[in-house]
Structures are given as C-alpha cells and as structure tokens.
Amino acid sequence: MISKKMEGALNGQIQEEFYSAYLYLSMSAWFETKNLKGFANWMKIQNLEEQMHAIKIFDYINERGGNVQLQNINKPQNEWNSPLEAFEAAYKHEQHISGCFNDLVHLAMEEKDRASQIFLDWFVNEQVEEEATADEIVQQLRIIGDNGHGLLMIDRELGARVFTPPAQSDKNA
C-alpha cells in the first residue's frame, strides 16, 4: 500500500508529465507552421514519450493500491521566436522535470517507501538522457546560428526520430 503523501505527489507528477506532453505537442504545432517537419516530428515523438511516462506512473499508483486523481493541465506556450528558443525552453523544462523526480525520490526516502524509490530510479535515469538530448540540440542550434543550410540539416536529422513503445512485458520502460 502506498502512503497518501506519496500517492498525492505521484498524482502531481502525472499532471507534470501530461503537461510536458501538451507542451511538446504545442512545440510540434509551432514547428509545423515554420515548415520544419523534422523538428515537428521530434517534438511529436517527445509528446508520446511523456504520455507513456504519465501512464507508467498511473499504472504504478494503481498497482500499489492507490487512487489516481487526474488534475487540470495548464495551457502551454504556443509561440517561440526561433527553433533555438523553443529547444532552450524544452531543455529548461526537462531540468524542471528532473527536479520534480528528485523531489519524489526524497519523499520516497522520507516515507521509507523502497518500492517507490526503485520505481523512480528509472525516471531519474531517463531524465539524464532527456536533458542531455535537449542540450545537445540546443548546442547544435547555437553553433549554426542563422545558417539556413545548417537548420535544414538538423531538421532532416530530427525527422528520422521514431517512437518505439516499450515491450508489454517490460514494466521498467
């Protein structure tokens, strides 16, 4: 059985993950309006990953005998001045999410909830990857500056990203 405090915090994280999905979908739409289909694809796949994270937490709360309580999702930003600004916002957002997971790990420790600590380890590791990937794209965009050819090369590269859902039997993905 999960504690009410841990249950509440995890429900809050479901909201964070769905907001993340909503933010990335908004970014995808913005990139579509700029005819940067590869950037739009990357963000759309990021949206799917964030939804998967929310469902993973949703399932965990239920498995532990808790009560999932979905919360309102705020409207995300929908305009950026440049691809760089959008990816800087994505990187900053991933840093925020990393902080949220760190707070959840600390709460699990306080609650002496070893099962939640183990469960949250996957997300902590995932966030390292999420931050590194967003930062890498930010750094590439800074290097190319206003070079349209460079932007199109990155767009093509980001267009190759595909979403691979985890195997049904893999509870840790």
pLDDT classification of 165: cutoffs 50, 70, 90: confident
Mean pLDDT of 15-39: 98
Evaluate whether residue 65 is within a structural domain: yes
Evaluate whether residue 138 is within a structural domain: yes
Mean pLDDT of 44-53: 97
Q: The domain containing residue 54 runs over which residues?
A: 4-72+80-159
Evaluate whether residue 92 is within a structural domain: yes
Q: Number of structural domains, the chain?
A: 1
Contacts of 33 (CB under 8 A, 6+ apart): none
Over the stretch 105-134, which tens digit does the pLDDT of each residue have?
999 999 999 999 999 999 999 999 999 999
Evaluate whether residue 171 is within a structural domain: no
Q: Is 70 helix (H, G, I), strand (E, B) or coil?
A: coil
Task: Look up residue 169 and give its two tokens.
Answer: 């039997």
Model confidence at 171: pLDDT above 90: no
Mean pLDDT of 141-148: 95
Spatial distance between the Cα atoms of 65 and 47, rounded to a whole number of angstroms:
28
Over the stretch 67-93, which tens digit does the pLDDT of each residue have?
999 999 999 999 999 999 999 999 999
Q: Is 85 helix (H, G, I), strand (E, B) or coil?
A: helix
Spatial distance between the Cα atoms of 42 and 33, rounded to a whole number of angstroms:
15
pLDDT classification of 166: cutoffs 50, 70, 90: confident
Evaluate whether residue 164 is within a structural domain: no
Model confidence at 172: pLDDT above 60: no
Evaluate whether residue 169 is within a structural domain: no
Model confidence at 173: pLDDT above 60: no
Global model pTM greater than 0.95: no
Q: What is the overall mean pLDDT for the chain?
A: 95
90: enclosing H helix or E strand: helix 83-110
- Domain with 39 in it: what CATH number? 1.20.1260.10
Evaluate whether residue 168 is within a structural domain: no
Mean pLDDT of 29-51: 98
Evaluate whether residue 87 is within a structural domain: yes
User: What percentage of residues in the chain have a pLDDT greater than 70?
Assistant: 96
